[in-house]
Amino acid sequence: MSEAVKKLFTSKIKALNIGLDIFYESFKAQDVEVVHVVWQPPPKLEKKLEEALKKII
């Protein structure tokens, strides 16, 4: 086994969690170093509403 592979399997896990709190909490419960980013996809808007919003923004 190469040194890079050995290092991969023996190093401490670090994670980036995007979105779901439950995954973040699961990592934390396992003492994994994790960064949580609060994110959700933009809502799907009706076409007229979306066009009006684009004009405002």
Is-above-0.85 flag for pTM?
no
Ranges of each domain in the chain: 3-56
Please, are residues 45 and 56 in contact by the beta-carbon 8 Å criterion?
no
Distance CA 32, CA 14 (A): 6
pLDDT of the residue at 57: 83
| pLDDT exceeds cutoff 90 at 45 | no
Structure tokens at 32: 């994994």
Give the DSSP per-residue string, 1-57. --HHHHHHHHSPPEEEEES-HHHHHHHHHTT-EEEEE---PPPP--HHHHHHHHHH-
